[in-house]
Structure 1
Amino acid sequence: MTDELLIKYLLQETNEAERQRVSAWLSSDPANTAHFLKFKKIWEASKQLAAESTVDETAAWMAFKAKADQRQHSKSSLSPRKNHYLIFKIAAVSLLAIGAWSVYQVVSNNTYIDMHADGNIASNTLPDGSVLTLNKGTSLKYASDFRNERTVHLDSGDVFFNVAKDRTHPFVIRLTDLSVTVVGTSFNIRHHRQETEINVESGIVEVQRGDEILRLQKSEHLSLASPEAKLQKKKNTDQLYNYYHSRLFIARNTPLPKLIATLNDAYRSSIVLEAGLEHLTFSSTLKADNLEENLSIICDALNLQRSGNGQQIYLSNKKP
């Protein structure tokens, strides 16, 4: 659903086919209704300002375009804790009729509260009752008026979400170029640089990138190695993703390189596999307590030996 069509709908300029399309979209998902109500609120604020504005609309539009271009070529002087996303989209369509910067200042005033987990795993409860478990090094922010706008911006890191149910206020997580919408469910998001992974434990998660929409259900996951990667879901084969929440490494026929990468991430270690071990798989549940014990279990199960120089740990086949 495009914002341009929603604006036509608000202006009552849609034809019958377009009106039916919007109506069907609104009734298909509570998240769509919530998005539309937020959109309508911004639109109504813009109409009020239009009636009061003494701004030269053409000059305002040119000033807005110049500012927008400048934003793309230099760092913003505005606080990153402001919600600009929808404002810029609606401004591109409606600012010929209103004072651009007046609307921008009025509807972009929702502030965000920072949440970090630096050297330790952190568990936090949001105002709506949703519980977030943040892995080490995770940074996010959530809307200050969270009961009315359940929006989280995940900057970087790993978060396990246990979302409180509220069908009238869908829970939205925004990443660099994705949005994730849920009503009440539990799932994990890992977002580092250009890589994103989403794993669902219960409920349904809707992932959107532009006009692309993908729905994930229990035991499904999405893994994106880059912003250009296709939205394609797969079945979960293990539960390594939430070790920091469950305190368990749950491996089910898991490739050894994937398991070792998870251990390195969890313990901030440097475990290196000997060439030729990439084909090995591991199935077991390990407690996320002691690295030495876990390495012993892995080596015994796969007939490996370990060595090291204090900085790195090497795993290789046992010599006869």
Structure 2
Amino acid sequence: MNTNPNHSMDDLLVKCILDEALPAERDEVDKWRAQHPENEKYYNHFKLIWQQSRELASASDVNEEEAWERFKKRTAENERPVIELNSNRPNYLFRIAAAIVVMAGVGWAVYFSMFRNRPEELVTVKAGAEALVDTLPDGSVVTLNRRSSISYPEGFAHGASRPVTLRGEAFFDVQPDKSKPFVITVNDVTVTVVGTSFNIKSNESSTEVIVETGLVEVEKSTEMVKLHPQEKVIVHKEKNKLEKELSGDELYKYYRTGKLVCNDIPLSEVISKLNEVYNTRIIIENKKLADQKFNTTLELKSLSADLHVIRETFSCTIHQNGDTLILK
């Protein structure tokens, strides 16, 4: 931050609030506020203090200079550092500090300490009709599937963990930090990691967790399982029992890769995933056809193109009945 050597940024902020700043000084403050969100917060807090101090100072008969001296003495007794004000600093700065002493009883430093310790604001990120990639404050990267969302405290600055709430489906690539585990809450399930990559999919009836790298702990009520790479657990809403199994396929990656990679996958599972991708209703009338294994990569360019590949592969027919497509 570059400021005029004859005054501090606090001086400029007060001058701007009082509408006494020169155009160049106001430009300097505007640039400083735009540099970082914390600067804008500091400005807003500074302005709030000034406004409240004016109201209190106008209603008080306390000698402001004496109040300021008492404030400095008190902070010295408590071994808090006191920043001495320059003798040529405008008198209204003393008035601000004195009014704050009257208002809060502990002064400027304690006031801002309270703001720093306040609960962090929640940030919510939502995906619309397309998947969305977002980088979190700790450097972790999350890919949200369509119509999914996450919420997390801005900055992850406070607390012993990095808490995130998920709705829908997302893939997380978490930055390692053993001192602050990454904790995801989804439905009534808690997923805890340190540094790893994994997929979580939730709906009204169940939550599925699939691990690609690292180690993941999944908890519900008093039950907990640890998942290693290529393992998954499906947690049903009405059950507390957690049973892990091999993930078996890569169909869950479709919203990140734009492809449906099918390696010896039953056609029934492929069709189920196509229904999810295209928000359609496709059913297989023939159970024998449903059990057939599929070994092709679908490009997910269009439903008609993918169904054409399936029809040619299995020599089946596709009929439409209203909004339903029937494979025979």
Same fold (TM over 0.5): yes
State the Cα distance separating 1:290 from its structure 2 match.
2.3
Q: Shift in Å at residue 200 of structure 1?
A: 0.8
- Return structure 1 stretches of 4+ with deviation > 6 angstroms: none
Alignment partner, residue 258 of structure 1: 269
Of the three residues 126, 129, 150, the one matched with 2:162 is 150
Question: Any residues of structure 2 matched to 1:149-298 within 5 Å, and which?
Answer: 149-154=161-166, 156-276=167-287, 277-298=289-310
Partners of 1:164 and 1:183 within 8 A in 2: yes
* Counterpart residue identity of residue 143, structure 1: P
Q: Report Cα offsets for 1:91-143 as digits up to 9, x if no partner.
A: xxxxxxxxxxxxxxxx9944421111122211111111111111111122112
Any conservation in 1 of the 2:254–2:260 contact (CA below 8 Å)?
Answer: yes
Q: CA RMSD in A?
A: 2.0
Alignment of 1:1-320 (within 5 A): 109-148=119-158, 149-154=161-166, 156-276=167-287, 277-309=289-321, 311-316=323-328
Structure 2: how far apart are the matches of 1:147 and 1:239? Answer: 35
Q: Per-residue CA shift, 1:170-204, capped at 9, x if unaligned? A: 11101222110111111100011121111111111
CA distance in 1, matches of 2:122, 2:298: 38
Unaligned runs of 5+ in 2: 1-116
Letter in 2 for 1:282: F
Structure scoring higher RCO (CA < 8 A, sep ≥ 6) equals 1
The 3 A distance-change label for structure 1 pair 283 and 230 is: farther
Task: Name the aligned partner's letter for residue 281 of structure 1.
Answer: K
Q: Is the 8 A contact 2:223 2:241 kept in 1?
A: no
CA contact (8 A) 2:141 2:174 kept: yes
Q: Deviations over 1:204-259 (max 9, x none)?
A: 11111222220111111111233415211111211111210121212222222221
Give yes or no for contact 1:255–1:279 (8 Å, CA) kept in 2: yes
Q: Tell me the distance in 2 between the aligned counterparts of 1:185 and 1:211.
A: 23
CA distance, structure 1, for counterparts of residue 157 and residue 325 of structure 2:
48
Q: In structure 1, what residue type is equivalent to 2:198?
A: F
CA contact (8 A) 1:237 1:254 kept: no
Partners of 1:208 and 1:116 in 2: CA distance: 25
Helix, strand or coil at the partner of 1:152: strand
Structure 1 residues 297 and 147, CA gap change in structure 2 (3 angstroms): farther
- In the alignment of these two chains, the number of paired residues is 209
SS in 2 for 1:180: strand
Give the 3-state SS of the residue equivalent to 1:304 in structure 2.
coil
CA contact (8 A) 2:271 2:282 kept: yes
| Aligned partner of residue 306 in structure 2, secondary structure | helix
Deviation at 1:150, TM superposition (A): 1.3
Matched-pair identity in %: 35
What secondary structure sits across from 2:256 in the alignment?
Answer: helix
Q: Give me the TM-score of the superposition, normalised by structure 1.
A: 0.61
